Amino acid sequence: EAKVWVDASSQAVGVALEIGGSVVEDVAWLSLDDAQHINMAELDAVIKSFNMAFSWQITKIRLMTDSATVHQWVTDGLSRKTRTGEMLIRRKVGIVLLLVEEFVLELYVELVRSANNKADELTRQ
């Protein structure tokens, strides 16, 4: 099992991959879309984290996020209780679910405090 830490800010989106208690890879992407809501950017980080996990051939993932909203969206999606009304949110959560299904991922979602998020420093100056 690996932990993928995700975070987003107005400045960047960050992902850190932790295996055996050590961060083995991390990456940040600068935010180019000032109009994008922070929760949507955090969902983008979730999708990017899967790509990182795939490159390490990891299929058992513990997703670590400090966004209660994203935690709820993904958890609801996994349990097929998606209640989001906005099309773009449903679409991005749908991508997450498609990747889980297509790559036969075992995904667990955990809500963490921002101060404990290992991807947090990737998204700040």
Q: What is the pLDDT of residue 72?
A: 93
CATH fold label, 2-59+69-123: Nucleotidyltransferase; domain 5 (3.30.420)
Q: What is the pLDDT of residue 125?
A: 65
Q: What is the pLDDT of residue 124?
A: 86
Which tens digit of pLDDT belongs to each residue from 41-93?
Answer: 999 999 999 999 999 999 999 999 999 999 999 999 998 876 666 778 888 99
Strand bridging mode 2-8 / 60-65: parallel
Contact 72, 82 (CB under 8 A): no
Query: What letter would DSSP give residue 24?
Result: E
- State mean pLDDT over 80-107: 86
- State mean pLDDT over 96-118: 96
Worst-scoring range by mean pLDDT, 16-20, 32-36, 80-84?
Answer: 32-36
Q: Report how far apart, in Å, the C-alpha atoms of 123 and of each of 22, 51, 113 are.
A: 19, 18, 15
pLDDT bin (cut points 50, 70, 90) of residue 25 is: very high
Q: What is the pLDDT of residue 12?
A: 93
The overall average pLDDT reported for the chain is 92
Q: What is the pLDDT of residue 66?
A: 97
- The structure tokens listed for 69 are 């909203």
pLDDT bin (cut points 50, 70, 90) of residue 98 is: very high
